[in-house]
Chain A
Amino acid sequence: MTGDIDLKEKPKDEKKSAKTETKTGTEDTVIEFQNVTKQYSANIEAVHDVSFCISAGEFISLVGPSGAGKSTLIKLLTCEEKPTSGKIVVAGRDITELKKKELPYFRRKVGVIFQDFKLLPKKTVYENVAFALEVCDAPDDEVKDKVPKIIDLVGLTRRAFSFTEELSGGEKQRVSIARALVHNPKLLIADEPTGNLDPVSTWEIVELLFKINKQGTIVMLATHDREVVDSLQKRVITMKEGKLVSDQQKGKYNL
């Protein structure tokens, strides 16, 4: 994908949509938002008519002030919320039509990390990562084989048997990255992953995300950090008041 997006006329979606044109992706499109609108109640419209495509191997920064709809967009992508109208196509399937039973399998293909890490405090680093595999029916030998490798990838082998509550913020975020990666996801979503971290840890995490992206995983980074976005020199999607206001290759944080 080189940045040019085909503009085609497409029939309107069943429900409603102000615009008629829909952006459709090129061959290697993995994720496609088609006129997605999410309304929480009559007055609150978190996301309004958003359309964009993501190709394989991309690194995208999602920026925008609080309340711009970044979090909702992420929730839509992880299937925690269903859009009021529009389609979200991932690997050729409209995930808004996923059945309840298919949801766990979809989630295993999408890794998510958060500002507050969401780790189990009474468990060790190893157990936290193993947990993600265990609850997905992975056999014991697969757990034993995979977990140390992933922990090594995020550089925590030395602390593998420490309890997560004993770790620093940066280390905790590494654990949550390890946990997100354990299913070999196609997409890694990072929702403000550096919001709670000091500058040094922030750069370590960003570097790690970069490394993961180089190995072929799509990374979507939602952030407020101007410096990080500017230095990345990657695609930047800017949202404001629920609308997509700019989508630039090698973009800058311009708010």
Chain B
Amino acid sequence: MKQFFTTIKRITKTASISLWRNRWLSLAATLIMVLTLFTVSFFVCLLIMVNSTTTMLRSKVDISVYFNDSVSNDQIFKIENTLLARSDVKSVDYISKEKALEVWKKQNSDNTQLRDIISSDYNPLPRSLDIKTEQPEDLDAVNDFLSDKDYKPLIKEISYRKNKDLVDRLIKITNFIKYVGWTLSILFVAISVLIIYNTIRLTIYARSDEIDIMKLVGAGDWYVQGPFIVEGIGYGVVAAIISSLILYLTAKFSLPAAGNYLGVANVSAVVANISYWAIILSQLVVGIALGTGCSVWAVRKHLK
């Protein structure tokens, strides 16, 4: 056991000396690894955020059916009951003219001119039913049901398209981010693999005299190959730390702006789905795996 630690100590010492002697090379390898880890984790975070925003909006999507003023309340209640009888409908709210006015006043509270256009004496706001379904997908069926020609003369407007468009847009953004994220991630992983591989190869060349001597005096395989693998692990660890730091700063300064863009007031709710520790940990794992993999590859190829 003691021997094991002595070995690890000596290998680590050799690796750190080599890292320092080739510090510019090491810097390049570490930076490209930072870029890779940052790109991958940035897109993963972005996806998580957009996904949770989409889910949030989806649950808010509903159908509002606005009725012509000529329709009697009885007719509306009849439709309400028919809708409630459907298994896919979660709830139906009747919005009377008075309630609609209340909502109008609330929405335009800071614009008195607009607010005062409508009053209880002159109220053109239609009565409506707000329908929520069990699943967002069921909205289509409800929409179809209401679009039936039997109801056409009664209904002024169905406000379904508007919200649906927003959700559709978000899904499109999600797909775009997935596409770009994958492409960039693969590209950067490929670049960093090549650069780390070459860096290790160059350090092998730089130390070829030393390696020859090591083999000559009967060094065990671990002493010859170990330092390069430790070097690769070193790139991974340092890169993961730097990348996590950059990611944290990016999140801190850009989240409010992102929240505005997506139209989500409560950004922290979206971010709550992201565990910083999980991200740091997975960055470490990916970084170490990348560094070690490239080192082993280079060592296998150039240290026979």
Contacts and interface: CB of A to CB of B under 8 A. Distances in A.
Contact of B2 (A104, A139, A180, A183): A139
Interface centre among B212, B220, B221 (most CB of A within 10 A): B220
Contact of B214 (A105, A112, A135): A135
Interface string B145-170: 00000000000000000000000000
Contacts of B220: 104, 135-137
Contact of A135 (B2, B3, B209, B219): B219
Contacts of B108: none
A104 B210 contact: no
B217 interface: yes
Contact-size category for B: 10 to 19
Provide the main secondary structure of the chain B interface.
helix
Contact-size category for A: 20 to 34
Interface string A120-146: 100000000001101111011000000
Given A134-B10, A135-B223, A140-B6, A120 B217 contact: no
Contact of A112 (B3, B7, B216, B224): B216
Nearest to A143: B6
A118 B221 CA distance: 20
Interface in A72-106: 78, 101, 104-106
Interface string A164-205: 000000000000000110110000000000000000000000
A119 B6 CA distance: 23
A183 B217 contact: yes
Contacts of A183: 217-218
Contacts of B2: 139
B210 A120 contact: yes
A139 B6 CA distance: 7
B217 A131 contact: yes
B60 interface: no
14 contacts: A78-B216, A101-B221, A104-B220, A108-B217, A118-B213, A119-B213, A135-B220, A136-B218, A136-B219, A136-B220, A139-B3, A140-B6, A179-B217, A183-B218
Interface of A: 78, 101, 104-108, 112, 118-120, 131-132, 134-137, 139-140, 179-180, 182-183
Given A118-B213, A131-B217, A135-B217, 18 more contacts: A78-B216, A101-B221, A104-B218, A104-B219, A104-B221, A107-B215, A107-B216, A107-B218, A108-B217, A108-B218, A118-B212, A120-B213, A131-B213, A132-B218, A134-B223, A135-B220, A182-B217, A183-B217
